[in-house]
Amino acid sequence: MVQKGHIHKNILDLIGGTPMIRLNNSVKSFQGEFFAKYEGFNPGHSSKDRIALFIIEDAERKGLINNESTIIETTSGNTGFSLAMVALVKGYNCILAVSDKSSKDKIEMLAAMGAKVYVCPSNVGPDDPKSYVNFAKKIHNETDNSIYINQYFNELNVDAHYSTTGPEIWKQMNGDMTHFIACSGTGGTISGVAKYLKEKNPNIKVIGVDAYGSVLKKFHETGVIDQNEIFPYKVEGLGKNFIPSSTKFELIDSFVKVSDKESAHSALELTKSEGIFLGYTSGSILQALKQLSGDNEFKKDSRVVVIFPDHGSRYLSKIYSDEWMFENGFYDKTNTDIKKIKYI
Protein backbone atom coordinates (compact mmCIF):
# COMPACT_ATOMS: atom_id res chain seq x y z
CA MET A 1 0.00 0.00 0.00
CA VAL A 2 1.33 3.44 -0.98
CA GLN A 3 1.39 6.02 1.80
CA LYS A 4 0.05 9.37 0.65
CA GLY A 5 2.62 12.13 0.73
CA HIS A 6 5.41 9.86 2.00
CA ILE A 7 8.77 10.21 0.26
CA HIS A 8 11.83 8.25 1.37
CA LYS A 9 15.00 10.29 1.89
CA ASN A 10 17.08 7.69 0.01
CA ILE A 11 17.11 4.02 -1.01
CA LEU A 12 18.43 2.91 2.39
CA ASP A 13 15.08 3.76 3.99
CA LEU A 14 13.64 0.71 2.22
CA ILE A 15 15.86 -1.82 4.01
CA GLY A 16 13.89 -4.24 6.19
CA GLY A 17 10.16 -4.68 6.61
CA THR A 18 10.15 -7.51 4.06
CA PRO A 19 6.96 -9.53 3.49
CA MET A 20 5.93 -12.88 4.93
CA ILE A 21 4.42 -15.05 2.19
CA ARG A 22 2.39 -18.23 2.60
CA LEU A 23 3.78 -21.08 0.50
CA ASN A 24 1.20 -23.12 -1.38
CA ASN A 25 1.98 -25.30 -4.39
CA SER A 26 5.59 -26.13 -3.50
CA VAL A 27 4.64 -27.60 -0.09
CA LYS A 28 1.20 -29.08 -0.76
CA SER A 29 2.42 -32.63 -0.09
CA PHE A 30 3.85 -31.70 3.35
CA GLN A 31 2.05 -31.69 6.68
CA GLY A 32 1.69 -28.28 8.32
CA GLU A 33 1.69 -24.69 7.10
CA PHE A 34 4.73 -23.00 5.60
CA PHE A 35 5.63 -19.31 5.40
CA ALA A 36 8.57 -17.55 3.76
CA LYS A 37 10.19 -14.29 4.82
CA TYR A 38 11.25 -13.02 1.39
CA GLU A 39 14.39 -10.91 1.70
CA GLY A 40 14.51 -10.22 -2.04
CA PHE A 41 12.22 -7.26 -1.29
CA ASN A 42 15.15 -5.36 0.24
CA PRO A 43 16.49 -2.69 -2.16
CA GLY A 44 19.72 -4.65 -2.65
CA HIS A 45 17.62 -7.79 -3.23
CA SER A 46 18.98 -9.76 -0.25
CA SER A 47 19.01 -10.09 3.53
CA LYS A 48 22.57 -8.72 3.55
CA ASP A 49 21.24 -5.17 3.23
CA ARG A 50 20.34 -5.41 6.90
CA ILE A 51 23.85 -6.16 8.16
CA ALA A 52 25.52 -3.70 5.76
CA LEU A 53 23.46 -0.78 7.04
CA PHE A 54 23.58 -1.93 10.68
CA ILE A 55 27.37 -2.38 10.79
CA ILE A 56 28.24 0.81 8.89
CA GLU A 57 25.90 2.94 10.99
CA ASP A 58 27.36 1.39 14.14
CA ALA A 59 30.83 2.40 12.92
CA GLU A 60 29.55 5.93 12.26
CA ARG A 61 28.12 6.22 15.78
CA LYS A 62 31.45 5.06 17.24
CA GLY A 63 33.45 7.50 15.11
CA LEU A 64 35.37 4.71 13.39
CA ILE A 65 34.84 6.05 9.85
CA ASN A 66 34.78 9.41 8.09
CA ASN A 67 34.18 10.74 4.58
CA GLU A 68 37.58 9.48 3.42
CA SER A 69 37.17 5.95 4.80
CA THR A 70 37.26 2.72 2.79
CA ILE A 71 34.93 -0.19 3.57
CA ILE A 72 36.59 -3.60 3.02
CA GLU A 73 34.89 -6.98 3.11
CA THR A 74 34.92 -10.62 2.00
CA THR A 75 31.75 -11.77 0.27
CA SER A 76 30.10 -14.40 -1.90
CA GLY A 77 28.37 -11.47 -3.60
CA ASN A 78 25.28 -10.39 -1.67
CA THR A 79 27.03 -8.76 1.30
CA GLY A 80 29.36 -7.02 -1.12
CA PHE A 81 26.51 -5.54 -3.14
CA SER A 82 24.76 -4.36 0.01
CA LEU A 83 27.96 -2.78 1.37
CA ALA A 84 28.71 -1.17 -1.99
CA MET A 85 25.18 0.28 -2.09
CA VAL A 86 25.33 1.64 1.46
CA ALA A 87 28.88 2.97 0.95
CA LEU A 88 27.88 4.68 -2.30
CA VAL A 89 24.87 6.42 -0.75
CA LYS A 90 26.86 7.49 2.30
CA GLY A 91 29.96 8.55 0.35
CA TYR A 92 32.55 5.91 1.36
CA ASN A 93 34.97 3.93 -0.81
CA CYS A 94 34.45 0.16 -1.01
CA ILE A 95 36.85 -2.72 -1.76
CA LEU A 96 35.58 -6.29 -1.95
CA ALA A 97 37.30 -9.69 -2.03
CA VAL A 98 34.96 -12.14 -3.74
CA SER A 99 34.96 -15.92 -4.03
CA ASP A 100 35.19 -17.21 -7.59
CA LYS A 101 32.10 -19.30 -6.76
CA SER A 102 30.11 -16.08 -7.07
CA SER A 103 28.07 -15.81 -10.24
CA LYS A 104 29.32 -13.52 -12.99
CA ASP A 105 26.12 -11.53 -12.52
CA LYS A 106 26.96 -10.82 -8.88
CA ILE A 107 30.55 -9.80 -9.64
CA GLU A 108 29.47 -7.44 -12.42
CA MET A 109 26.84 -5.88 -10.14
CA LEU A 110 29.46 -5.16 -7.46
CA ALA A 111 31.60 -3.27 -9.96
CA ALA A 112 28.55 -1.45 -11.33
CA MET A 113 27.82 -0.19 -7.81
CA GLY A 114 31.25 1.45 -7.70
CA ALA A 115 33.23 -1.11 -5.68
CA LYS A 116 36.76 -2.23 -6.49
CA VAL A 117 36.51 -6.03 -6.78
CA TYR A 118 39.15 -8.76 -6.35
CA VAL A 119 38.09 -12.31 -7.32
CA CYS A 120 39.83 -15.00 -5.21
CA PRO A 121 39.98 -18.80 -5.67
CA SER A 122 37.49 -20.86 -3.65
CA ASN A 123 39.42 -24.15 -3.87
CA VAL A 124 42.07 -23.10 -1.31
CA GLY A 125 42.18 -23.68 2.42
CA PRO A 126 41.25 -20.98 4.95
CA ASP A 127 44.94 -20.41 5.79
CA ASP A 128 45.99 -19.81 2.19
CA PRO A 129 46.98 -16.16 1.52
CA LYS A 130 44.85 -16.30 -1.65
CA SER A 131 41.66 -17.14 0.28
CA TYR A 132 39.25 -14.25 0.09
CA VAL A 133 39.28 -13.81 3.86
CA ASN A 134 43.07 -13.50 4.07
CA PHE A 135 43.26 -11.34 0.96
CA ALA A 136 40.74 -8.89 2.42
CA LYS A 137 42.79 -8.71 5.64
CA LYS A 138 45.89 -7.95 3.56
CA ILE A 139 44.11 -5.13 1.71
CA HIS A 140 42.83 -3.75 5.02
CA ASN A 141 46.36 -3.71 6.48
CA GLU A 142 47.67 -1.93 3.39
CA THR A 143 44.87 0.66 3.13
CA ASP A 144 44.94 3.72 5.37
CA ASN A 145 41.69 4.80 7.05
CA SER A 146 39.94 1.54 6.22
CA ILE A 147 37.51 -0.61 8.18
CA TYR A 148 37.22 -4.38 7.70
CA ILE A 149 33.61 -5.52 8.18
CA ASN A 150 34.62 -9.18 8.78
CA GLN A 151 31.05 -10.53 8.74
CA TYR A 152 32.11 -14.06 9.68
CA PHE A 153 33.49 -12.94 13.03
CA ASN A 154 31.47 -9.78 13.68
CA GLU A 155 28.89 -9.95 16.46
CA LEU A 156 27.01 -7.09 14.79
CA ASN A 157 26.08 -9.57 12.04
CA VAL A 158 24.03 -11.43 14.67
CA ASP A 159 22.80 -8.21 16.32
CA ALA A 160 21.41 -6.88 13.02
CA HIS A 161 19.04 -9.83 12.67
CA TYR A 162 18.25 -9.96 16.40
CA SER A 163 17.20 -6.29 16.17
CA THR A 164 15.28 -6.39 12.88
CA THR A 165 14.54 -9.75 11.22
CA GLY A 166 13.63 -11.60 14.41
CA PRO A 167 11.10 -9.03 15.67
CA GLU A 168 9.57 -8.71 12.19
CA ILE A 169 9.02 -12.48 11.97
CA TRP A 170 7.51 -12.67 15.47
CA LYS A 171 5.12 -9.81 14.71
CA GLN A 172 4.13 -11.11 11.27
CA MET A 173 3.38 -14.56 12.70
CA ASN A 174 1.65 -13.16 15.78
CA GLY A 175 4.01 -15.39 17.75
CA ASP A 176 2.32 -18.52 16.34
CA MET A 177 5.07 -20.71 14.88
CA THR A 178 6.73 -24.04 15.65
CA HIS A 179 9.85 -24.05 13.44
CA PHE A 180 12.36 -21.58 12.05
CA ILE A 181 14.54 -22.86 9.20
CA ALA A 182 17.33 -20.90 7.50
CA CYS A 183 20.50 -21.42 5.52
CA SER A 184 23.71 -21.05 7.51
CA GLY A 185 26.75 -19.39 5.97
CA THR A 186 28.16 -16.69 8.22
CA GLY A 187 25.43 -17.76 10.65
CA GLY A 188 24.33 -14.19 11.33
CA THR A 189 20.77 -14.57 10.07
CA ILE A 190 19.94 -17.88 11.71
CA SER A 191 21.70 -16.96 14.97
CA GLY A 192 20.22 -13.49 15.35
CA VAL A 193 16.68 -14.60 14.52
CA ALA A 194 17.00 -17.74 16.68
CA LYS A 195 18.17 -15.69 19.66
CA TYR A 196 15.13 -13.41 19.41
CA LEU A 197 12.59 -16.16 18.77
CA LYS A 198 13.85 -18.45 21.54
CA GLU A 199 13.65 -15.56 24.02
CA LYS A 200 9.98 -15.29 23.05
CA ASN A 201 9.32 -19.04 22.92
CA PRO A 202 12.11 -21.53 23.77
CA ASN A 203 10.07 -24.34 22.17
CA ILE A 204 10.49 -22.99 18.64
CA LYS A 205 12.73 -25.48 16.83
CA VAL A 206 15.59 -23.91 14.86
CA ILE A 207 17.06 -25.91 11.98
CA GLY A 208 20.07 -24.83 9.93
CA VAL A 209 20.61 -25.78 6.30
CA ASP A 210 24.18 -26.71 5.38
CA ALA A 211 25.89 -27.79 2.13
CA TYR A 212 27.75 -30.97 1.29
CA GLY A 213 31.38 -29.80 1.26
CA SER A 214 30.89 -27.73 4.44
CA VAL A 215 31.89 -28.50 8.04
CA LEU A 216 29.02 -26.82 9.93
CA LYS A 217 26.67 -29.77 10.47
CA LYS A 218 29.34 -32.16 11.72
CA PHE A 219 30.89 -29.47 13.93
CA HIS A 220 27.47 -28.85 15.49
CA GLU A 221 27.11 -32.57 16.21
CA THR A 222 30.66 -33.40 17.33
CA GLY A 223 32.56 -30.17 18.05
CA VAL A 224 35.18 -31.33 15.53
CA ILE A 225 36.25 -29.61 12.30
CA ASP A 226 36.58 -32.61 9.99
CA GLN A 227 38.82 -31.74 7.03
CA ASN A 228 37.46 -34.80 5.21
CA GLU A 229 34.11 -33.02 5.00
CA ILE A 230 35.60 -30.21 2.89
CA PHE A 231 35.38 -30.26 -0.90
CA PRO A 232 34.35 -27.70 -3.56
CA TYR A 233 30.65 -27.09 -4.06
CA LYS A 234 28.57 -24.75 -6.18
CA VAL A 235 25.83 -23.22 -4.04
CA GLU A 236 26.71 -19.72 -2.80
CA GLY A 237 26.15 -18.21 0.64
CA LEU A 238 25.65 -21.59 2.29
CA GLY A 239 28.04 -23.60 4.46
CA LYS A 240 31.70 -22.90 5.29
CA ASN A 241 35.09 -24.65 5.42
CA PHE A 242 35.79 -22.95 8.77
CA ILE A 243 33.74 -22.07 11.84
CA PRO A 244 32.45 -18.47 11.90
CA SER A 245 32.14 -17.04 15.41
CA SER A 246 28.91 -15.37 14.24
CA THR A 247 27.31 -18.84 14.14
CA LYS A 248 25.78 -19.49 17.58
CA PHE A 249 25.54 -23.27 17.51
CA GLU A 250 23.91 -23.41 20.94
CA LEU A 251 20.83 -21.67 19.47
CA ILE A 252 20.47 -24.14 16.59
CA ASP A 253 18.72 -27.44 17.34
CA SER A 254 19.92 -29.37 14.30
CA PHE A 255 21.29 -29.11 10.77
CA VAL A 256 20.33 -30.75 7.49
CA LYS A 257 22.67 -31.02 4.50
CA VAL A 258 21.60 -30.49 0.90
CA SER A 259 23.35 -31.04 -2.43
CA ASP A 260 24.15 -28.56 -5.21
CA LYS A 261 22.04 -30.38 -7.80
CA GLU A 262 18.96 -30.83 -5.64
CA SER A 263 19.16 -27.21 -4.45
CA ALA A 264 19.34 -25.95 -8.04
CA HIS A 265 16.34 -28.00 -9.17
CA SER A 266 14.35 -27.03 -6.07
CA ALA A 267 15.02 -23.33 -6.77
CA LEU A 268 13.62 -23.73 -10.28
CA GLU A 269 10.68 -25.66 -8.85
CA LEU A 270 9.96 -22.88 -6.35
CA THR A 271 10.02 -20.21 -9.02
CA LYS A 272 7.64 -22.15 -11.26
CA SER A 273 5.28 -23.27 -8.49
CA GLU A 274 5.04 -20.11 -6.39
CA GLY A 275 5.75 -17.42 -9.01
CA ILE A 276 8.59 -15.94 -6.95
CA PHE A 277 11.91 -15.41 -8.74
CA LEU A 278 14.28 -16.83 -6.12
CA GLY A 279 18.00 -17.41 -5.63
CA TYR A 280 20.01 -20.62 -5.33
CA THR A 281 19.87 -20.89 -1.52
CA SER A 282 16.08 -20.59 -1.53
CA GLY A 283 16.22 -23.86 -3.45
CA SER A 284 18.37 -25.23 -0.63
CA ILE A 285 15.57 -24.31 1.76
CA LEU A 286 12.92 -26.17 -0.25
CA GLN A 287 15.21 -29.18 -0.58
CA ALA A 288 15.71 -29.17 3.20
CA LEU A 289 11.93 -29.05 3.68
CA LYS A 290 11.55 -32.07 1.41
CA GLN A 291 14.13 -34.03 3.40
CA LEU A 292 12.72 -32.98 6.77
CA SER A 293 9.18 -33.83 5.62
CA GLY A 294 10.44 -37.26 4.55
CA ASP A 295 11.85 -37.70 8.07
CA ASN A 296 8.42 -36.83 9.57
CA GLU A 297 9.70 -33.62 11.17
CA PHE A 298 6.43 -31.78 10.54
CA LYS A 299 2.95 -32.46 11.94
CA LYS A 300 -0.49 -31.26 10.91
CA ASP A 301 -0.29 -28.34 13.35
CA SER A 302 3.28 -27.30 12.43
CA ARG A 303 3.72 -23.67 11.45
CA VAL A 304 7.09 -23.38 9.75
CA VAL A 305 8.87 -20.11 8.89
CA VAL A 306 11.77 -20.10 6.43
CA ILE A 307 14.02 -17.37 5.03
CA PHE A 308 14.32 -16.90 1.28
CA PRO A 309 17.59 -14.91 1.29
CA ASP A 310 17.76 -13.28 -2.14
CA HIS A 311 16.38 -12.64 -5.62
CA GLY A 312 16.84 -14.84 -8.68
CA SER A 313 18.38 -12.07 -10.80
CA ARG A 314 21.74 -12.84 -9.15
CA TYR A 315 21.77 -16.32 -10.73
CA LEU A 316 20.88 -15.77 -14.39
CA SER A 317 24.26 -17.15 -15.47
CA LYS A 318 23.99 -20.08 -13.05
CA ILE A 319 20.86 -22.04 -12.13
CA TYR A 320 18.69 -20.09 -14.61
CA SER A 321 21.12 -20.86 -17.44
CA ASP A 322 20.48 -24.14 -19.25
CA GLU A 323 24.11 -24.10 -20.41
CA TRP A 324 25.43 -23.85 -16.82
CA MET A 325 23.07 -26.58 -15.64
CA PHE A 326 24.28 -28.92 -18.42
CA GLU A 327 27.95 -28.07 -17.79
CA ASN A 328 27.63 -28.99 -14.13
CA GLY A 329 25.78 -32.23 -14.76
CA PHE A 330 22.50 -30.94 -13.32
CA TYR A 331 20.62 -31.50 -16.59
CA ASP A 332 20.50 -34.34 -19.06
CA LYS A 333 18.68 -34.66 -22.38
CA THR A 334 15.53 -35.96 -20.71
CA ASN A 335 15.23 -33.05 -18.27
CA THR A 336 11.86 -31.32 -18.38
CA ASP A 337 12.96 -28.08 -16.66
CA ILE A 338 14.80 -26.80 -19.74
CA LYS A 339 13.48 -23.45 -20.89
CA LYS A 340 11.56 -23.56 -24.14
CA ILE A 341 12.54 -20.43 -26.07
CA LYS A 342 11.82 -20.15 -29.79
CA TYR A 343 13.18 -17.38 -32.01
CA ILE A 344 11.07 -16.49 -35.05
pLDDT score at 150: 86
pLDDT score at 337: 65
Per-residue pLDDT of the chain (344 residues), as tens digits, is 556 778 999 999 999 999 999 999 999 999 999 999 999 999 999 999 999 999 999 999 999 999 999 999 988 778 889 999 999 999 999 999 998 878 787 888 899 999 999 999 988 877 898 888 899 999 999 999 999 988 878 899 999 999 999 999 999 999 999 999 999 999 999 999 999 999 999 999 999 999 999 999 999 999 999 999 999 899 988 999 889 999 999 999 999 999 999 999 999 999 999 999 999 999 999 999 999 999 999 999 999 999 999 999 989 999 999 999 999 999 986 766 667 677 87
Q: Yes or no: say if 117 and 107 are a contact pair by the CB < 8 Å rule.
A: yes
Catalytic residue among 37, 48, 198, 205: 48
CB atoms within 10 A of CB 90: 17
Q: How far apart are CA 143 and CA 137, in angstroms?
A: 10
pLDDT score at 1: 52
Q: Yes or no: say if 20 and 169 are a contact pair by the CB < 8 Å rule.
A: yes
Rg (Cα) of the chain, in Å, rounded? 20
Contacts of 189 (CB under 8 A, 6+ apart): 47, 161, 165, 182, 183, 307, 309
Helix H or strand E segment including 252: none
Helix H or strand E segment including 36: strand 33-38
Beta strand pairing call for 93-99 and 116-120: parallel
Domains, the chain, in order of start with CATH, read 11-42+164-327 (3.40.50.1100), 48-152 (3.40.50.1100)
pLDDT score at 153: 80
Q: Yes or no: say if 187 and 213 are a contact pair by the CB < 8 Å rule.
A: no
Q: Yes or no: say if 60 and 53 are a contact pair by the CB < 8 Å rule.
A: no
Active site residue 48: yes
From the number of C-beta atoms within 10 Å of its C-beta (0-12, 13-18, 19+), residue 28 rates as exposed
- Own/partner long-range contacts of 123-131 (Cβ < 8 Å, ≥24 apart): 123/232, 125/241, 126/241, 126/242
Q: Yes or no: say if 26 and 290 are a contact pair by the CB < 8 Å rule.
A: no
